[in-house]
Structure 1
Amino acid sequence: MKIVFYALFVILNCFLIFKLTKIVTPKTAAISYGSAMLIVPLLAFIAAGIVRGIHYIPSPFFLDIFKALLLSFFILILLNLMVLAAGAIVSKLNRFQETHNAVNLERNPVSFARNNLQTIELAYKTIFFALSLLMLYGVWFGEKK
């Protein structure tokens, strides 16, 4: 069961990092992730209230899955906020060079970065995705103490 959840979160994260940023504007995505940061804990408290209201005593396996789900959602939300922030930083640096450093646009470090913006974007998204794989692996398969 944990393998299925891990695979689902990896697929969801791949979609969020690589595809959703091309579909949705960064401002809309940031608002969505910010509101999700408020909604996910609220839903968790509601679920906990329902479980207590029906006097159900959850098994340790259920509690582990529930905690892992919450942590996985928070990892996805925060990581994708960082991807948006990295994209904003790269675009602001590029705009700064175009407006305030127009004389040196053809010099090497600046021209290399300007000519390879798509590659830079793919590189930081890939790094964030690889790190998310490690974090999700730790959440789902790490030792519980």
Structure 2
Amino acid sequence: MSKETFCEAEERRFEKIVNFGLPNRYKKIGIVIAIVSFLSIIVLKISGVEFSETLKFISKRVLLVGLLITAISKEKVEDEMIHSLRVKAFTGAFISGVIYTLIFPAIVYAAKLVFNKEENLLTDVGDFQILWFMLFMYLVFFYLMKRKV
């Protein structure tokens, strides 16, 4: 196998991954999954029912899967403009996620100092929190930009 054909094959595989998208009908499925999971987390929290860490872990991951399915589902008309909006939305979500990850611990630290809570002043942002924030921000940015066009 020559080097050119190997590089071309790798480029083709990369393009397939980059341009991956679920059919449009999955967007509704992802929204339903995310809403049901989000509501179940809230209802269990409000009701005061002690639920296991396993159920909490699963509910959070199902919420992320629902948001991801919604994010990677194609639009009814998938053209160059939609692709450009997706790139801008992912860029905005990534930058927002980094800023959130850097600033949130400082805000929590300041709040704990003000309210004199001495236990564990520095807290880190968890993986679920970062992923949820970035996927949510992507969807917000994408739909706001799409509405403007």
For the superposition of Structure 1 and Structure 2, which TM-score range results when normalised by the shorter chain? 0.3 to 0.5
Larger fraction in helix:
1
Give TM-score, length-normalised by structure 1. 0.39
Q: Which has the higher contact order (CA 8 A, sep 6+)?
A: 1
Give TM-score, length-normalised by structure 2. 0.38
